[in-house]
Structure 1
Amino acid sequence: MYLNNLKYYFLKKTLFLSILLFFQSCQINPATGEKEVSLMSTEEEDSIGRREHKKLISQFGGIYREKELQNYINSIGNFLVSTSELPNKKFTFTILDSEIINAFALPGGYVYLTRGLIALCNNEAQLAGVLAHEIGHVTGRHAAQRYTRTIGTNLVTNILSVLINNPSLGNLVGQGAGLYVLSYSRSQEIEADKLAVRYMSRAGFAEEEMANFLRSMERYTVLSKKMQNKDTNNTSDLLSTHPSSSKRVRQVISESKLINNARPIYGKEIFLKKINGMRFGQSPKEGVIFGDHFIHNGLEIKFKLPEDFFFLNT
């Protein structure tokens, strides 16, 4: 009897604090204009971005230092930011010295592109689409949303674990909550696509090039898997934090049809001029494949690759 009373006392106190926290944390999302609960302030977002910036750079082989190319990326990125709901926010755009095709953003306005991704773009509009998508993650405060949802999920799970007093059921609740968080992350990706189309349109870029870049990504993924003799079908879509490329392409094309710029910017010539001379493929400091040999000068090793093998230097 005493334990039951203690459980309900704990529940009432927790619910009261949760309701109080809800009203104190309700904010307007700058990108959507909608009210939302956020347990992370913009100052905390900036602090997290600064703290994780150097760590992320070291994980991806360092910064690709090419001044003219970096200035080019900065000019496009800052132009897109000026069309967003946070035109005065300082963004930091970084080119990572990696042949891996990737782009991502940290809270606080830190946006990253690998040189591998830049090489896959065919024109300036496609590059702008990638930058606009990552800017959308920042203006949409997606990191803060993810943090808030995680805290809320943990709170509910803890309450139920006390009331139910059943470890196996508690594990099931935790698993279901995890799936819900992952599903919300997919929604954030779609929202970032919508924001990207908005910013591209305002800046005058050809919005359909964002979809064309995603098609290139899809074809590249299929080709890479074939070269590695892997299954080209997506088998983990349910638990993936991102929608598959084909779904993303359809979503972006649907958005693009709603907008029409009279003279959209493609910028193929200037893009090719700016990336001329950019390193392609693996960085020499990570070792290179030359003919049928792998050579790593830093480690002073060299060996011949077996025939009919696909070699991936990670």
Structure 2
Amino acid sequence: MKALGLVCLLVLLQSLVGCAVNPATGRSDFVMMSEQQELAMGREYNQEIAKQYPRYPDEALQTYVQQVGERVARYSHRSNLAYRFTVVDSPDINAFALPGGYIYIHRGLMAYLNSEAELAAVLGHEVGHVTARHSVRQQSQSTAWGILGQAVAIGTGVGAAADITNVLGGAVVSGYGRDMELEADGLGAQYLARSGYDPRAMIEVVKVLKAQSDFARDQARAKGQAEPPSSYHGLFDTHPDHDTRLQQVVGPASALAVGSGQEARRDEYLQRIQGLPFGDSADTGVRRGSAFYHRDLNFTLRYPQGWALDNRPDVLLGQSPDEQALLAMTLGDAREGESAAEFLQRKAGGQVREQLPLSGQDGVVGILPGRPSRRVAVVMRGRHAYQFIGVVREGSLQVWDDAFMQVIKSFRPLRADERKLAEPRRLKLVKLQAGQQLRDFIGKSSKPDEAIARLRLLNGLYPDGQAKNGEWLKILD
């Protein structure tokens, strides 16, 4: 019976596996998905992404990005797809593509780009992932490894064999990896050149991303903290200009430029992003040091000095410097006339509770027993229930409970003089005049060296570049 089961599974695997000619590379690829299935998967994932990543509410900028993306995609190996380019309202330095042509770029990355050609390079890179069907190849490998693992387990009678095979499969498909990323860079550079942009913008984008890693590493060293991992797939240990493989995939694209192309369109791009929020947006709340301000929901709270704040669309996370304590705040909907105590009772069951001493606000706190036990709290304002939960990775809740309570008790409405703090900083363009230096544009910063370094990073000058007289400079207003 085991032998018969093994044969059946191997026949199933053979029936599912296909070798399709990759439209971008011309190679035969191992795939287990038709193009129609790929498009259907993209549509399904796109609906989920739309729920998790808010669309940046500037339709003029959205239209501009769509036009630039379409210009590049028109010259791709799968120009028949209906590409959709979306700006995500997030400060993260990121862009990604879903199967079938759904491409997202975070406004956080757009703030650091310095020309329309660089924007086109980012979008072209993501189009390259789509045309080379990287997500399809990745998922096909994962599915095949899973089926093969079942076959080995049945054939050998050793259940652990499936686990071993899944581990091997996970190693193969854990991220696109350097080869696929370089392939997407090379394809993107081709599409840039064919559409009239300077293909060397692809290397400029890699410089931007590499500078982000260098900046984060240098700031961590200056503060005596652990160095963060590279943010661009860990590909480049040296400067991108000196990366031989990157030069090999991007360089040949220059010969493909049409007519008198090679456009950069720097000034046009910078004018488009003037006024772009830098960092958090007013819609999601603004972090300022250890404090948090939300304009539309009309509240502020403060974490202990030195805690890291992560502002996500659905939760505000605060983490202690040693990463042992975590306090999250989320927003829920209460029932009509429901009190904070009733809300906590409904969500957490009958637990020990006490009223919070919050002026003019209905608040209650409690402790959820368990290993570990957790500090919980609810503050009610109208139909909004602000829910807090504090957890400790190791040790006792008591060690961190005073810090948790300090944050919870700091929750209050904004004062009139704090409303400006709930507005984000925005990009502003200035033309550098003779005699001006970067130091002239950082304001009254408490950390001038860090502010200058960030200004260099923002303008593609990190770590020691100098702006030229007469050029536009991005500063923070």
Instruction: Indicate the TM-score class for this superposition, using the shorter chain for normalisation.
Output: 0.7 to 0.9
One-letter identity of the residue aligned with 2:189: V
Match of 1:252 in 2: 246
Please give the alpha-carbon distance, in whole angstroms, between the structure 2 residues aligned to 1:216 and 1:207.
15
Match of 1:3 in 2: none
Partner of residue 34, structure 1: 27
Shift of the alpha carbon at 1:227? 4.3
Does 1:163 pair with 2:155? yes
Q: Residues 21, 288 of structure 1: CA spacing in aligned structure 2 closer, same or farther, 3 A cutoff?
A: closer
Letter in 2 for 1:11: L
Q: Is the 8 A contact 2:21 2:28 kept in 1?
A: yes
Please show how residues 65-84 of structure 1 align to structure 2 within 5 Å. Answer: 65-84=57-76
Secondary structure in 1 aligned to 2:201? helix
Distance 1:186 1:165, change over 3 A: farther
- Counting only pairs closer than 5 Å after superposition, residues 1-314 of structure 1 correspond to structure 2 as 6-22=1-17, 25-60=18-53, 62-182=54-174, 185-227=177-219, 229=223, 230-232=225-227, 234=229, 242-246=233-237, 249=240, 250=243, 251-260=245-254, 261=257, 263-289=261-287, 293-304=291-302, 306-307=304-305, 311-314=309-312
Q: CA deviation at 1:90?
A: 0.7
| 1:258 match: secondary structure | helix
User: Which amino acid in structure 2 is aligned with residue 8 of structure 1?
Assistant: A
Q: Please state how far the C-alpha of 1:311 moved relative to its aligned partner.
A: 4.4
SS in 2 for 1:113: strand
- Following the alignment from structure 2 to structure 1, what is the Cα–Cα distance between the partners of residues 283 and 272? 24
SS in 1 for 2:197: coil
The residue type paired with residue 282 of structure 2 is P
| SS of 1:206 mapped into structure 2 | coil
The one-letter code sitting in structure 2 at the alignment partner of 1:274 is R
**Structure 2: 5+ residue stretches without partners:** 313-477
Letter of the structure 2 residue corresponding to residue 44 of structure 1: Q
Contact 1:31 1:139 in 2 (8 A): yes
- The CA distance in 1 between the partners of 2:142 and 2:79, in whole Å, is 29
CA contact (8 A) 1:186 1:241 kept: no
Kindly tell me: are residues 9 and 225 of structure 1, through their superposed partners in 2, closer, same or farther at Cα, counting changes over 3 Å? same
Partners of 2:228 and 2:216 in 1: CA distance:
12
2:384 is aligned to none
Shift of 1:226: 4.8
For the 8 Å contact 1:295–1:302, the answer to whether it is kept is yes
Structure of higher CA gyration radius:
2
> Higher relative contact order at CA 8 Å, sep ≥6: structure 1 or structure 2?
1
- Tell me by how many angstroms 1:296 deviates: 1.8
- The change in CA–CA distance for 1:195 and 1:54 in structure 2 (over 3 A counts) is same
Distance in 2 between residues matched to 1:92 and 1:72, nearest whole Å: 12
> Cα offset for 1:158?
0.7
Q: For structure 1, which segment, 173-182 or 114-123, has the greater mean C-alpha deviation from structure 2 after superposition?
A: 173-182
Share of identical aligned residues, percent?
Answer: 29
Task: Give the stretch that moved more between structures: 38-47 or 167-176.
Answer: 167-176
CA distance in 1, matches of 2:56, 2:262: 30
1:168–1:266 CA distance, 2 compared to 1 (3 A): same
Aligned-CA RMSD value: 2.7
Q: Aligned equivalents of 2:307 and 2:165: distance in 1? A: 45
Q: In the TM superposition, what is the alpha-carbon distance from 1:104 to its structure 2 partner?
A: 0.4
SS in 1 for 2:97: strand
Q: SS at the partner of 1:27?
A: strand
Q: Does the aligned pair in 2 maintain the 1:185–1:241 contact within 8 Å?
A: no
Q: Which amino acid aligns with 2:3?
A: Y
Task: For 1:178 and 1:57, locate their aligned partners in 2 and report how far apart those are by CA, in whole Å.
Answer: 27
- AA of the residue aligned to 1:231: A
Deviation string for 1:150-180 (max 9, x for gaps)?
Answer: 1110111111111222244443332122112
Amino acid paired to 2:184? A
User: Would the aligned equivalents of 1:49 and 1:110 in 2 still touch at CA under 8 Å?
Assistant: yes
- 8 Å CA contact 1:217, 1:245 repeated in 2: no
1:121-173, Cα deviation, whole Å (9 max, x unpaired):
01111111100011111111122112211111011111111122224444333
Aligned residue pair count = 302
Gaps of 5+ in 1: 1-5
Relative distance call for 1:47 and 1:16 in structure 2 (3 A) is closer
The residue type paired with residue 123 of structure 1 is: S
Q: Relative to 1, partners in 2 of residues 1:181 and 1:7: Cα closer, same or farther, differing over 3 Å?
A: same
**Comparing both structures, which one devotes a greater share of its residues to helix?**
1
How far is 1:289 from its partner?
A: 3.5
Which structure features the higher share of strand residues? 2
Q: 1:100 to 1:15 in 2, by over 3 A?
A: same
- Alignment deviations for residues 37-67 of structure 1 (CA, whole Å, 9 cap, x no partner): 422122222222222223212322x111212
- The Cα of 1:8 is off from its aligned counterpart by 1.8
- Partners in 1 of 2:85 and 2:214 — Cα distance? 29
